[in-house]
Amino acid sequence: MVDFESAGTPVADDVIVKPVADQPALLLERKGERVLVIADLHLGWEVTLAHQGIHVPSQVPRLLDKLRKILAETNPKLLVLLGDVKHAVSKVELEEWKYVPEFFDSLVEIIPDVEVVPGNHDGNLEPLTPPSVKINKSNGMVLWDSVGLFHGHAWPAPPLLGCKFLVMGHLHPVVVFKDPLGFRITRQAWVRAKSDGNKLAEGVLRREDAKFEGNATEEVKKKFGVSVADADVIIMPSFNDYLGGQPINKNYQEGWTQLYKEYMGPVLRSGAVDFENGEAYLFDGTFLGKVEDLRRLAR
């Protein structure tokens, strides 16, 4: 296991949150109970490429292999797939009827307890998964009253506002460096940042009622019985390492580009998560620095 170095391993409510060493997987632990989280598998990404004339062999065996090793090493009771399990948006591509069930059939033999929090690519996922796999709502799930898990393309459900930890995917963060000769180095990264609970609550309430005004924290308590908390937010790297990523230190020059703004999802766009002061880490635990400092290195 690797600690998030600079601030130590976050612990609250007896919950330990740790990235698995050298892997894009997050281990949550409470009183000896372990849950593994991975995000952005994008099964079938290679089929989309094939439509463009680029042929890459099916990644299903490779991804399963990687996952099998991590599961053997960490021995969790539950695996959570944090969105974008498959790649094709909403309409199920023909090929998906083969490789998505193929993936899940092998997966539930390795670990019987699997839950999905759907992402923006997961329309019509249910008919492709075994009945034992639980598909949650796309506005997220709460674990142990402390950990909110949501994909990140949409606002989380009100109960997640009370969580001390929020885990999200969707962004596929990578860090890009350029050396003096112009060589570009791209590395997947973890980002850890603080959320402003009240700001997040404002966004969640506005989604439900566009005219909302007043104190969001009080309103969430009144309406949903949830005590809003500032959270430790962990943005996960994509499990499928073949995918492109969002260079967190590059797409920002005088402001986020329009495309990136649209992509990053309402939570990050709203400023409710202090992404600028977020800390980036490599898979081996190396602390790279704050997101805003890394931007200077990208130019």
Residues forming contacts to Mn ion in the complex (CB under 5 A) are 84, 119-120, 153, 170
Q: How many helices (H) and strands (E) does the chain have?
A: 8, 17
Residue number of the CB closest to Mn ion reads 170
- Of 4, 118, 108, 106, the C-alpha closest to 60 is 106
User: Can you say how many angstroms the Cα of residue 4 is from the centroid of all Cα atoms in its chain?
Assistant: 16
| Smallest distance from Mn ion to CB 292, Å | 24
- Three-state SS at 106: helix
Least distance from Mn ion to the Cβ atom of residue 121, Å:
6
**Rounded to the nearest whole angstrom, what is the least distance from the CB of residue 4 to Mn ion in the complex?**
23
Q: How far is the CB of 29 from Mn ion (least distance, A)?
A: 26
Tell me how far, at minimum, the Cβ of 68 lies from Mn ion, in Å: 24
End-to-end CA, the chain:
33
User: Exposed, middle or buried: residue 209 (CB in 10 Å: 0-12, 13-18, 19+)?
Assistant: exposed
Determine how many CB atoms are found less than 10 A away from the CB of residue 132.
10
Q: How far is the CB of 87 from Mn ion (least distance, A)?
A: 10
* Of 15 and 168, CB closest to Mn ion: 168
Q: Contact, 192 vs 171, CB < 8 A?
A: no
Of 15 and 117, the one with the shorter C-beta distance to Mn ion is 117
Measured from the CB atom, is 106 or 246 closer to Mn ion? 246
Nearer Cβ to Mn ion (153/199)? 153
Q: Which is nearer to Mn ion, 120 or 246 (CB)?
A: 120
Phi and psi torsions of 52, nearest 5°: -100, 5
253 Rama class: left (phi>0) / alpha (psi -120 to 50) / beta: alpha
Q: Looking at beta carbons only, is 76 or 265 nearer to Mn ion?
A: 265
